Amino acid sequence: MVPGNVFTARLRQFGAALTAACALLAGAPAQADWPEKPVRIIVPYPAGSSPDTLARAIAGPLSDALAQPVIVENKPGAGGNIGTRSVAHAKPDGHTLLYTINGPLVTAPTLYPRTLGYDPGADLAPISLIGTSPNVLVVAKNLNIKSVEELVDLARRRPGAMNYGSVGPGSSAHLAMEMFKHDAGIDLLQVPYSGFPQVITAILAGDVQAGFMVPAIAMPQVRDGRARALAVTSLQADPALPGVPPMSEAGYKDFESISWNAMLAPAGTPTPVIERLNRELARILERPQVREQFAQQFFTARSSTPEALSHRIRDEKARWDAVITRLGLSLD
């Protein structure tokens, strides 16, 4: 015969196990049924921008894989911070995702320590890296500048009289130019725009004189003879950009600023949902048609594990934090 206290203890253990099993069973259908409605991908940049174009390139295949509509929704503003904040505060059920560049994840927390309204490390769950691309330094053809050296010479002769375009404070376009200004000892005023299409329009109109830009938006204007690409921000020349030298050849050693895209979800999104999305994205990014669409935007399609994306965000934040501190930048 089992003593009463032992029987009671075993009964409690059985009850706890039964409760845990019921919880697992209750949770299983919700995850197995995901997605049970359309999935929204929030792009915190305007329609026609590089992130928007690439998000739409994967939205169709992802919709097929998930058997639900995948809708790309643009929420531009504040260098990508507004759309990113909306996802950070969204319900973590796997039906709202974020497709963004590195700025809102890497540099925004340091540039906006009081007003950002979200913490990428605490409020967002990495899913996968999507692709990488260097930037190009671009000027209007009618500026009659053919090299980085000539741009520096003109800026030194016109201190404070020249502007540059960016896609907002904290973006790679902004920080690359601020780093360039510091290293070259020149002064150009930042004029922020909601996306790169607006930046190249401003360069061609003469509203700004230069800008670091994604090649997909800049190179059609370069090929049409309306703009000139002076340098690329990778450490070596990029085969996709023949004839465009790296910044290092103009004397700016170790100058590197790579744009990358990634997909994330609100923190707390169920792990099986994150894992499913990661698997589907890895397969999609291996498709020749998708890789060609990325190549047309001068991006290399590239997936990663959630952990690798988390490490990338952490490592790049440390690198750019040092640059921000050295330049004394603050945007609050």
Tokens of 300: 């290399």
| pLDDT number for residue 3 | 53
Q: Check whether 1 has a pLDDT greater than 80.
A: no
Q: What is the pLDDT of residues 148-202, one digit of tens each?
A: 999 999 999 998 899 999 987 777 888 899 999 999 999 999 999 988 899 999 9
| pLDDT number for residue 239 | 84
Where are the chain's structural domains?
A: 37-132+259-327, 136-250
Q: What is the pLDDT of residues 196-223, one digit of tens each?
A: 899 999 999 999 999 999 898 999 999 9
| pLDDT number for residue 50 | 86
- Cβ count within 10 A of residue 182: 13
Q: Check whether 317 has a pLDDT greater than 80.
A: yes
Q: Check whether 49 has a pLDDT greater than 70.
A: yes
Mean pLDDT value of segment 76-91:
94
Q: What distance separates the 2 farthest-apart alpha carbons in the chain?
A: 99
> Is the separation of the CB atoms in 331 and 112 below 8 Å?
yes
Mean pLDDT value of segment 92-115:
94
| pLDDT number for residue 8 | 46
Beta-sheet strand order (sheet of 162-166): 188-192, 162-166, 210-213, 136-140, 227-232
Least reliable range by pLDDT among 158-167, 170-179, 230-239, 257-266: 170-179
* Alpha-carbon gap, residue 248 to 162, rounded angstroms: 23
Question: What is the average pLDDT value for the chain, to the nearest integer?
Answer: 89
What is the CATH T-level fold of the domain 136-250, as seen in this structure?
D-Maltodextrin-Binding Protein; domain 2 (3.40.190)
| Fold equal for 37-132+259-327 and 136-250 | yes
| pLDDT number for residue 32 | 66
Q: What is the pLDDT of residues 303-315, one digit of tens each?
A: 999 999 999 999 9
| pLDDT number for residue 31 | 58
CA distance to 3, 90, 203, 269, 270, per residue, from 95 (Å): 52, 9, 38, 9, 11
Against a cut of 0.85, is the pTM above it? no
Q: What is the pLDDT of residues 20-36, one digit of tens each?
A: 444 444 444 445 689 99
| pLDDT number for residue 188 | 95
Residue 267 or residue 20, greater confidence? 267
CATH class of 37-132+259-327: alpha beta
- Res. 329 pLDDT band, cuts 50 70 90: confident
Q: Check whether 78 has a pLDDT greater than 90.
A: no
Residue 64 or residue 195, greater confidence? 64
